[in-house]
Amino acid sequence: MLALTSVWTTVLLAAAVALGPLATDMYLPALPSLGGALGAGTDQVQLTLSIYMAGFALAQLICGPLADRFGRKPAMIGGFVLFAAASIGCALANNIETLILCRFLQAIGGSAGPVLGRAAIRDIYTPRDAARIMALLASIMALAPALAPTLGGLMLNHLGWPSIFIALAGYALVMALVVAVGIPEPMASENRQPLKLCTLMANYRSIGSDLSFVGYTLTNSLTFAGLFAFLSGSSFVLIDFLGVEPQLFGLYFGVMVLGYISGNLTAVRLGKRLLPDQILVRGLVIAVAGGSLMAGLAIMEVFRVWAVILPQAIFMMGVGMVLPQTMAGALANFPRTAGSASALFGFVQMAVAAGIGALVGHLHDGTSLVMAVIIAASAVAALATYLLLVQRHPAAGFEPVSGGVPGQAS
């Protein structure tokens, strides 16, 4: 097996965490055609995306404590197997109701990757190092959503939409095998928590009352909501409204992902000389600039592909700087209950995203206006949350160090 601090362990964890984005991004080009295939309206089709996020949110509250009791690997492997089975159910669905149900089950299994990937990084590294490693992990992981829509569009055109879910099932089974044989258990045995309801509730109460956790989690969730507003509305805006071919959708989507990767790599580089919170505020300002530009263009009725993609790429550069810092900050105070902290963090993040996704679908007016305004509003709200909470309650371990090289967390 690989060493926990090996770069290849980070790569494998990124591949495991990528299962969540793949489950949304790969089938984005198929969303408009799913309505015709299954006799469903736009709001029902978008519900397959929102229900996934809602299930993802709820499942994390169970997945995290299970991982704190039994270890990261068993929970992750079990989640991947469930994800694979549910993906096959999605491929066989012959009506929208069945697809929605299977997407919910798919989310329950898929939650294991992001929750336990974050927890594993916290197990291995100090809080300050974790911010840098999470940024590196995110840049590696971003290759999946960069390629997924293009691959999904090609599969849609040549093999039909069920093939997308078959491919997701195969990926999940491969990752279950990789985690089983390639990655050591990152959680120290002395940190395992009893699986008792009173202990679980006490842990969640302690985590949820920590103002540092609340600040980083809400800042992350509101920023992620802007990203999810784009995921929820982009295929309808670009394909239905602006006439982009489904097989080309992934290329435009890739421009947005390049913005995200550039933000991740910028955070990695700046992490050598700036504090995580200093990187965070810079990312928030960039996200506000990108979201505001898109909203301004839409309000002026500049309805062009570039008026959506270029502002979103700027927004995503900010997202790439914000998300790793907020993830590390939220988990910084909880080395012994990183699984539960990661679960509560993920629950809030996905619950907010699911609500925003449903809002985009409900208010969609056939243009890019609703999506753009919601993205801008999410970025502004995230910056306000940072100023009101995070600045007043920064994470422990994010303060300057006098010397030495940060090592592994104890």
pTM over 0.85: no
Q: Which two tokens stand for residue 142?
A: 């971003």
Give the N- to C-terminal CA distance of the chain in Å, as an integer: 21
Question: Is residue 10 within 8 Å of 137, Cβ to Cβ?
Answer: yes
What is the sign, positive or negative, of the torsion defined by CA atoms of 198, 204, 206, 208? negative
Q: How far apart are CA 115 and CA 68, in angstroms?
A: 11
List, as one string, the DSSP characters of 322-375.
HHHHHHHHHHTT-STTHHHHHHHHHHHHHHHHHHHHHHHHHH--SSSHHHHHHH
**Looking at residue 145, what is its pLDDT?**
64
Return the bridge partners of 125, or none. 408
Contacts of 245 (CB under 8 A, 6+ apart): 239
Quick one: DSSP state of residue 274? S
d(CA 282, CA 273): 14
Question: In angstroms, rounded to a whole number, what is the distance separating the alpha carbons of residues 232 and 304?
Answer: 18
Give the model's confidence band at 407: pLDDT under 50 very low, under 70 low, under 90 confident, else very high. Answer: very low
For residues 376 and 15, which has the higher predicted lDDT (pLDDT)? 376
> Is the pLDDT at 162 greater than 50, yes or no?
yes
Tell me which residue of 124, 128, 90, 95 sits closest to 106, measured CA to CA. 90
> Minimal CA–CA distance to 363: which of 377, 351, 376, 374?
374
Share of the chain above pLDDT 90, in %: 33
Cα atoms in the 13 Å half-sphere on the side-chain side of 119: 36
- Axis crossing angle, helix 112-124 with helix 127-141, rounded to the nearest 10: 140
Is residue 403 over pLDDT 50?
no
Q: Give tens-digit pLDDT for 220-276.
A: 999 999 988 998 888 888 888 898 887 777 788 778 888 988 998 898 888 878 888
Q: Tell me if 59 sits within 8 A of 342, measured CB to CB.
A: no
Ordered structural domains, the chain, with CATH: 7-390 (1.20.1250.20)
Structure tokens, 170: 């195969």
Buried/exposed 113-150: b ≥16 CB within 10 Å, e otherwise: bbbbbbbbbbbbbbbbbbbbbbbbbbbbbbebbbbbbb
Query: Strand, helix or coil at 125?
Result: strand
pLDDT above 90 for 169: yes
107-152 pLDDT per residue, tens: 989 888 777 777 777 777 777 677 777 776 666 666 666 677 878 8
- What's the pLDDT tens digit per position in 25-57? 788 888 877 877 787 777 788 788 878 878 888
Q: Is 400 helix (H, G, I), strand (E, B) or coil?
A: coil
> What is the helix (H) or strand (E) element at residue 89, kind and residue range?
helix 72-92
136 vs 146: CA distance, rounded Å: 16
Q: Which of 200-214, 361-375, 380-394 has the highest mean pLDDT?
A: 380-394
Q: How many residues does the chain have?
A: 410
Instruction: Specify which residues 408 forms β-bridges with.
Output: 125
Report pLDDT for 353. Answer: 83
pLDDT at 313: 95
Residue 75 tokens, joined = 């929970």
